[in-house]
Amino acid sequence: MSKGYISIEGLARSFPAPSGSGAATTVFRDLWFAMDKGEFVCVIGHSGCGKTTVLNILAGLDDPSAGVVIVDGKEISGPSLDRAVIFQGHALLPWRSVLGNVAYAVSSKWRGWTKQQVEDHARKYIDVVGLKGSEAKKPAQLSGGMKQRVGIARALSIEPKILLMDEPFSALDALTRGTLQAEARRICVETGQTVFMITHDIDEAIYLADKIVLMTNGPGAQIAEIVVNPLPKERARDSFHKHPLYYALRNHLIDFLVTRSKTFAAEIAAKAAEGRPHDARRPPVILPAGLEKPITTLNGSGPAMAQSA
Amino acid sequence: MLKSLSWRAATLSVVLFVLFVGAWQLATSGGSTALPPGMDPEYAKLLGLGATQGKSAMPTPLEVGAKIWGHLRDPFYDRGTNDKGIGIQLAYSVARVALGYLIAVAVAIPLGFLIGMSPLLYRALDPFIQIMKPVSPLAWMPLALYTIKDSSTSAIFVIFICSLWPMLINTAFGVASVRKEWLNVARTLEVGPVRRAFTVILPAAAPTILTGMRISIGIAWLVIVAAEMLVGGTGIGYFVWNEWNNLSITNVIVAILFIGVVGMVLDLMLARAARAVTYPE
């Protein structure tokens, strides 16, 4: 497998049985996956498949039971300022102002900076997420969407190599979510940010992602396949669902979540009987059925393209 | 509406106060100095009947008011061991409380931090804390007098020991229950342990710690009166006991009022500090 900018190699995580007796629960096993610099990758799967655990391992907040994660040529161990996390529950420090929260991250990254340098840098990113004028407010004075904007500003302000997002918009109402998705995409495309995002929202994945990683149900979850998003890089939040390829992709993802995520083991067995065994190290990279080839040239070529069955 | 509510509450307070004072006046002004019928007033005076008969040692509100005024006019006089102004006595008590309390703060907060951060220590020390916490601080007094051999220092020790537990428990609890996501923020930002303690754990636990400190100052002020009754010499507790021995109920009532006012001021100070560190979520 070609080594990408980020490479997940043979990752597994199991938890001991709660009572101490009985077998350990393996949440997921043998995950292999690589992504390139500047790619936006979404992982979707049912709850319990270990999506968040994968993200926590990438963030360095959790340790894998087996396997490694390599970022920019180095194996990760523990958290790092190279990898910023946008938490599901925004996780702002409530006793700090908007500026204080972002400045805290900035001063953690550049410890030698003066107060003025830190504030200027923090203000720049508060501006990017459109919160100019709210610098002095405390998180409790902000709406849910604004809080998450601060979370995004904080993560971006440390200029990370990768942005890790754990269902960042799931707690927001539909309208706010749509606006924030559009802004997140704009910012990430403009800055060429590499993003790894967890979601259970199919439309969110279609709108944001360059590649969509499908995980089967846990325990013992696997990467079933990696779907290449055929939508053009330039997509508008209000019209992407009218794109001719949208429904093919959406149907493929829904089919996966509704049925194939459960029956994937049988699917593997059937394919193996046909002489096409599933190789966990090279999960199939596919375009949804009916699409001959991607509309745009995708940056970063993964393993050999295969047409979905 | 809010303004009118507080206005009505104030009015009701005044009415209750007037009713209380009125009832007090009625209760104490009764029992007239009327002499048994047919007795010669001169003879009655000779027997001392006019001075005591029917007259309670319980003062009237006016007498208490006059006494308070007297104390307020000259709170810091010092005419020997058993006759010091109430201001001096209160100052002794406040100083003892402050000293014992500050030593307790200096011990409880760092120790509580350690206990809160280490689940091992939390569990290991829990039985000791649970046993020591419900012990009346005055039970320590003989032990303190025997080992310290100084009554004034013993009183400070008793204040220390009674202030310690609420602060220790609240600090440990506050530190242990800092939200995981805030700690994760610090971890992903590679914040070191010392900076994390001061920039995340301390502000997050501060409201809980201040609650413990507020409970402690309340207990300390309760305990100092009893402790000073035991150790004697100086302080408002000693003043109360001394005036009881002098059978000056007026002074005892005045002392109760002053103890209440000082306790309220101490509580308000801590409440204000608690408000300053509380954050809305």
pLDDT in tens, A188-230: 888 889 999 999 889 999 999 999 999 988 788 888 888 988 8
User: Does residue B27 belong to any structural domain of this protein?
Assistant: no
User: Does residue B167 belong to any structural domain of this protein?
Assistant: yes
Question: Under an 8 A CB cutoff, do B187 and A104 touch?
Answer: no
- To the nearest whole Å, the CA of B251 is away from the closest chain A CA by 48
Task: For residue B203, list chain A residues with Cβ-Cβ distance below 8 A.
Answer: 93, 95
User: Does residue B213 belong to any structural domain of this protein?
Assistant: yes
Whether the CB-CB separation of B122 and B116 falls below 8 Å is answered with yes
Give CA–CA dist A63/A70, Å, rounded. Answer: 13
Taking the Cβ of residue A109 and every Cβ of chain B, the question of whether any pair is shorter than 8 Å is answered with yes
Report CA A51 to chain centroid distance, whole Å.
9
Q: What are the pLDDT digits (tens) for B77-115? A: 888 877 888 999 999 999 999 999 999 999 999 999 999
Residue located via tokens 């080594």? A3
This model's pTM is above 0.90: no
Please say if the pLDDT value at position B185 is more than 60.
yes
Question: Under an 8 A CB cutoff, do B189 and A95 touch?
Answer: no
Whether the CB-CB separation of A14 and A26 falls below 8 Å is answered with yes
The pair phi, psi for residue A14, each rounded to 5°, is: -130, 150
**For residue B168, how many other CB atoms are within 10 A of its CB?**
24
pLDDT band for B2, please (50, 70, 90 cuts): low
Question: Under an 8 A CB cutoff, do B185 and A93 touch?
Answer: yes
Question: Under an 8 A CB cutoff, do A87 and B279 touch?
Answer: no
A262 token code pair:
């459960």
- What value, to the nearest 5°, has the Cα angle with vertex A59 and ends B205 and A196? 125
Q: Into how many domains does chain B fold?
A: 1
Q: What is the pLDDT of residue B32?
A: 56
User: Does residue B39 belong to any structural domain of this protein?
Assistant: no
Residues 6+ apart with CB under 8 A from A225: A214, A256, A283, A284, A285, A286, A308
Task: For residue A140, list chain B residues with Cβ-Cβ distance below 8 A.
Answer: 279-281
Nearest by Cα to A227 from A163, A288, A175, A297: A288
Please say if the pLDDT value at position B45 is more than 90.
no
Suggest the residue from A71, A108, A147 to mutate for an interface test with chain B (most B CBs closer than 10 A). A108
Give CA–CA dist B181/A90, Å, rounded. Answer: 9
The CATH number for B133's domain is 1.10.3720.10
Chain B contacts in chain A segment 148-167 (CB below 8 A): 158
Question: Under an 8 A CB cutoff, do A140 and B281 touch?
Answer: yes
Domain assignment of residue B243, given as a range: 86-276
Per-residue pLDDT of chain A (309 residues; tens, 9 = 90+): 446 789 999 999 988 877 766 778 888 888 898 899 999 999 998 887 888 899 999 999 999 999 999 998 889 988 999 999 998 888 999 999 999 999 999 999 999 999 999 999 999 999 988 899 999 999 999 998 899 999 999 999 999 989 999 999 888 888 888 888 998 898 888 888 999 999 988 999 999 999 999 998 878 888 888 898 888 888 888 888 888 888 888 988 998 888 888 888 888 888 888 877 777 778 878 777 555 444 333 333 434 444 443
Give CA–CA dist B101/B113, Å, rounded. Answer: 18
Q: What is the pLDDT of residue A301?
A: 40
What is the chain A residue with the closest CA to B190? A80
Residue A285: strand pairing partners: A226, A305
CA-to-CA dists, residue A66 to A9, A28, A114, A128, A220, angstroms = 9, 10, 42, 39, 13
User: Does residue B26 belong to any structural domain of this protein?
Assistant: no
Whether the CB-CB separation of A194 and A161 falls below 8 Å is answered with yes
